[in-house]
Structure 1
């Protein structure tokens, strides 16, 4: 079975409802023979999120811990239906990896059309690399329109393993999104959304879906650190 060696969605203890340090996340990743993880604590609109300075100071993090490469990132929150984020550009431009996500504690759900419009604006943001856990049924959108925009802008769609337990109703949506990404040639990333170190690299549900839809290896950007780094370096200056 193809292994995914990069986890693009990990929360450290700096996110108040997560429970492991960056060092502990890296240690578990090393034990699982992973090559790279992204530290993606929640943006500042989340009630227990870290301060802006947390993201501004990520430059002090080593590029590698326990032999695991470290992407310095954020899971930014979408805060309105114009696709604005809770992280200023002066911070986003310093990060290696930016996911943008809807969370209903940060924005009240709207209509399918509003969500679609917001996603398109998010994707057009030059600092955003991937749209996060978009299978959430609370924020449904027009898949074809948004995924076409993702492809046109050479961005990525996250399939989030944690969604299957934390966001009920996501599984069928994620399966459909994965199928459409395959048909449209849209690149995807796999994120554990780990909130404790033991969940780093936990992709069991995504493996099942990708097997079911026969997702092509070339569309999955987690198969090696080098593959994802090459993609990012085409778009931005990164720290590793």
Structure 2
């Protein structure tokens, strides 16, 4: 299966990534991607951008090097209520919102507490996907998370970086999540979680994992532009 888009990419604005938007778009074009999402971390991440950064993303062109550029963020979940680290008026102006649990931003808890926190984040009307849900630092009840993703129409990510260079120990968790997603018909995104331009569109490990479960292409959002647009536009008040 071919992914035509990378929906999880970081620029220098995240504070711990190393490429510009232009560099990322050029690599994406060289690799044949049709669409990228710029999803820098929210402001609670150490070194992360000020909220004004997200308000000014309109300055970024919609197309660079022939590649469609979505302006988004990877929001940090900052409390057990699932609160994100950007106010709703700014979230509403973004093309795509990812949300994730991160050690320096999100409280650690029991499986029940972590599961409730992740599900509450899904209930935010602007959240389009939960990223790296298999992170072993935040154990959750995977079945409840997948069922909630279906209920709230939020995608779950299989994160290539989690299977290669970060969040060690994610592989068996991601296997469980993938099996449950196939069982319940949850929407899936494959993300590079790129922090350097040359890894944009790198999905090798994630694709190998999901190949075991024979997902139909229509369940994988970044297999077509139409599916990405349909998912993001399910919020009728969002403009893409």
Q: TM-score, normalised by structure 2?
A: 0.97
Per-residue CA deviations over 1:7-31 (Å, capped at 9, x if unaligned) read 0100011111101000111110000
Cα distance between partner residues in 1 of 2:119 and 2:5: 26
Aligned to 2:13, the other structure's residue is in SS state: coil
Q: Counterpart in 1 of 2:24?
A: 25
CA separation in 1, counterparts of 2:60 and 2:239? 10
Q: Using the alignment, how far apart are the partners of 1:238 and 1:48 within structure 2? A: 29
For 2:227, the equivalent position in structure 1 comes to 227
Segments of 5+ residues of structure 2 without an aligned counterpart are none
Aligned residue number for residue 191 of structure 2: 191
Partner of residue 178, structure 1: 178
Q: Cα distance, 1:216 vs. partner?
A: 2.0
Residue 33 of structure 1, CA deviation: 0.5
Unaligned runs of at least 5 residues, structure 1: none
Matches within 5 A, 1:130-149: 130-149=129-148
In the TM superposition, structure 1's runs of 4+ consecutive aligned residues that sit over 3 Å from their partners are: 236-240
Q: Say whether 1:153 aligns with 2:152.
A: yes
Contact 2:161–2:193 (Cα < 8 Å) also in 1: yes
Aligned-residue RMSD, C-alpha: 1.1
Q: 1:25 & 1:236 partners in 2: Cα distance?
A: 30
Q: CA deviation at 1:235?
A: 1.6
How far residue 108 of structure 1 moved from its aligned partner, in angstroms, is 3.3
Distance 1:189 1:90 in 2: 25
Tell me which residue corresponds to 2:14.
Answer: 15
TM-score normalized by structure 1?
0.97
Quote the offset at 1:238 in angstroms. Answer: 4.7
Question: What is the CA–CA distance in structure 2 between the aligned matches of 1:152 and 1:226, rounded to whole Å?
Answer: 22
Give the Å deviation of 1:50. 0.6
Secondary structure of the 1:186 match is coil
Deviations 1:143-197 (A, max 9, x none): 1112111101111001110012200110110111011000100010011000010
Distance 1:18 1:72 in 2: 17
